[in-house]
A and B are shown apart, each in its own frame.
Chain A
Amino acid sequence: MKNGKIIKVSGPLVVADNMSGSKMYDVVYVSDYKLMGEIIELNGDRASIQVYEDTSGIGVGEPVYLTGAPLSVELGPGLLESIYDGTQRPLDVIRDESGDFITRGIQVHPLPRDKKWDFNPVKKKGDTVVEGDIIGEVKETVIVTHKIMVPPGISGKITDIKSGKYTIEDTVCIIQSGKEKYEIKMYQKWPVRIPRPFKEKMLPDEPLVTGQRVIDTFFPIGKGGTACIPGPFGSGKTVTQHQLAKWADADVVIYVGCGERGNEMTDVLQEFPELKDPKSGQPLMKRTVLIANTSNMPVAAREASVYTGITIAEYFRDMGYSVALMADSTSRWAEAMREISGRLEEMPGEEGYPAYLGARVASFYERAGRIIALGSDNREGALSVIGAVSPPGGDLSDPVVQATLRVVKVFWSLQADLAYRRHFPAISWLNSYSLYFENIEGVLKKEVGEDFINLRAEAMKLLEKEAELEEIVRLVGADTLSLPDQLVLEVARSIREDFLHQNAFHEVDTYASIRKQYFMLKNILFFYEKAKEAISKDVHIKTIRELPIMEKISRMRYITESKIGDLEKLHDEIDKEITRLINK
Chain B
Amino acid sequence: MLKEYQTVVNVQGPLLLVEGVSGVKFQELVEIELPSGKKNKGQVLEVENDKALVQVFEGTTGIDIPETKIKFLGKGIEIPLSKDMLGRVFDGLGRPIDKGAEIIADKMADINGAPINPYARSYPNEFIQTGLSAIDGLNTLVRGQKLPIFSGSGLPHNRLAAQIARQATVLGKKEAFAVVFGAMGITFEEAQFFVNDLKKTGAIERAVLFLNLANDPAIERIATPRVALTTAEYLAFEKDMHVLVILTDMTNYCEALREISAARKEIPGRRGYPGYLYTDLSTIYERAGRIKDKKGSITMIPILTMPEDDKTHPIPDLTGYITEGQIILSRVLHHQKVSPPIDVLPSLSRLKDKGIGKGKTREDHADLFNQLFAAYARGKEAQELAVILGEAALTDLDKLYFKFAEDFENRYVSQGEYENRSIEETLNIGWELLSMFPRVELKRIRDEYIEKYLPKKEEKK
Contact = CB atoms under 8 A, between A and B. Distances in A.
A266 B26 contact: no
Given A60-B50, A263-B124, A95 B117 contact: yes
A367 interface: no
B373 A421 contact: yes
Contacts of A233: 317, 320-321
Contacts of B439: 551
Interface string A29-64: 000000000000000000000000011111111000
A262 B443 contact: no
With a 10 A CB-CB cut-off, give which of B267, B354, B385 has the most chain A CB atoms.
B267
Contact of B279 (A295, A474, A503): A295
B377 A57 contact: no
Contacts of A296: 115-116, 279, 282-283, 286-287
A230 to B, nearest CB: 13
Interface in B232-252: 237
A95 to B, nearest CB: 5
A17 B351 CA distance: 48
A420 B344 CA distance: 9
Interface stretch (A120-128, A175-183, A387-395): A387-395
Contact of A297 (B115, B276, B353): B115
B363 interface: no
A292 interface: yes
B116 A100 contact: yes
Interface stretch (B154-162, B206-214, B388-396, B416-424): B388-396
B63 interface: no
Contacts of A477: 389, 393
A297 B22 CA distance: 29
A91 interface: yes
A85 to B, nearest CB: 9
Interface string B4-26: 00000000000000000011111
A566 interface: no
Interface in A347-384: 348, 351-352
B121 interface: yes
Interface in A1-29: 7-11, 15
B240 to A, nearest CB: 14
Interface string A393-412: 11100000000000000000
Contacts of B373: 421-422
Given A100-B117, A352-B267, A421-B374, A59 B278 contact: no
Contact of B117 (A7, A101, A392, A476): A101
Interface residues of B, number: 82
Given A233-B321, A339-B275, A421-B374, A294 B28 contact: no
B113 interface: yes
Contact of B388 (A474, A498, A554): A474
A134 B275 CA distance: 47
Interface in A451-490: 473-479
Nearest to A101: B114
Interface in B11-58: 22-28, 45-50
B348 A505 contact: no
B83 interface: no
B314 A392 contact: yes
B24 A393 contact: no
B431 to A, nearest CB: 18
Interface in B308-365: 311-312, 314, 317-318, 320-322, 324-326, 345-346, 348, 350-351, 353-354
A92 B119 contact: yes
A478 B395 contact: yes
Given A100-B237, A261-B322, A294-B286, A56 B121 contact: no
B346 A294 contact: no
A333 to B, nearest CB: 12
Contact of A57 (B22, B27, B325, B366): B27
Nearest to B446: A558
Nearest to A479: B393
A234 B350 contact: yes
Contact of B345 (A297, A420, A473): A420
B405 to A, nearest CB: 13
B428 interface: no
Nearest to A8: B48
B67 to A, nearest CB: 26
Given A392-B314, A394-B312, A335 B25 contact: no
A297 B286 CA distance: 10
- Which of B50, B291, B321 has the most A CB atoms < 10 Å from its CB? B321
A94 interface: yes
A158 interface: no
B187 interface: no
B266 interface: yes
B294 interface: yes
Interface in A124-143: none
A170 to B, nearest CB: 28
A420 B317 contact: no
B370 interface: yes
B82 interface: no
A370 B389 CA distance: 54
Interface in B117-163: 117-124, 144
B440 interface: yes
A503 B366 CA distance: 11
Contact of A100 (B144, B294, B312): B294
A295 B322 contact: yes
Contacts of A92: 119
A443 interface: no
A267 interface: yes
Interface in A253-268: 257, 259, 261-263, 265-267
A52 to B, nearest CB: 13
Interface in A52-105: 54-61, 83, 91-92, 94-95, 98-103
A197 interface: no
A257 B27 CA distance: 28
B52 to A, nearest CB: 9
A332 B286 CA distance: 15
A10 B269 CA distance: 18
A299 B267 contact: no
B430 to A, nearest CB: 14
A296 B123 CA distance: 17
Nearest to B388: A474
Nearest to B46: A10
Given A100-B117, A335-B279, A56 B112 contact: yes
A61 B294 contact: no
A224 to B, nearest CB: 30
A394 B317 CA distance: 9
A498 B76 CA distance: 57
Interface in B75-115: 76, 110, 112-115
Given A299-B279, A420-B346, A83 B46 contact: no
Nearest to A292: B118
Contacts of B28: 57, 59
Contacts of B345: 420-421
B289 interface: yes
B389 A59 contact: no
Given A9-B26, A339-B275, A478-B394, 19 more contacts: A57-B25, A59-B47, A100-B291, A101-B113, A101-B116, A233-B317, A262-B115, A262-B286, A262-B289, A266-B123, A270-B123, A295-B279, A351-B270, A352-B267, A390-B321, A422-B370, A475-B388, A477-B389, A503-B370
13 contacts: A9-B26, A10-B48, A59-B25, A91-B118, A232-B312, A234-B350, A270-B123, A294-B115, A295-B286, A299-B279, A335-B278, A420-B346, A550-B440
Interface of A: 7-11, 15, 54-61, 83, 91-92, 94-95, 98-103, 232-234, 257, 259, 261-263, 265-267, 269-270, 292, 294-297, 299, 332, 335, 338-339, 342, 348, 351-352, 390, 392-395, 416, 420-422, 473-479, 497-498, 503, 505, 546, 550-551, 554-555, 558
3 tightest A-B CB contacts, nearest first: A393-B312, A295-B282, A477-B393
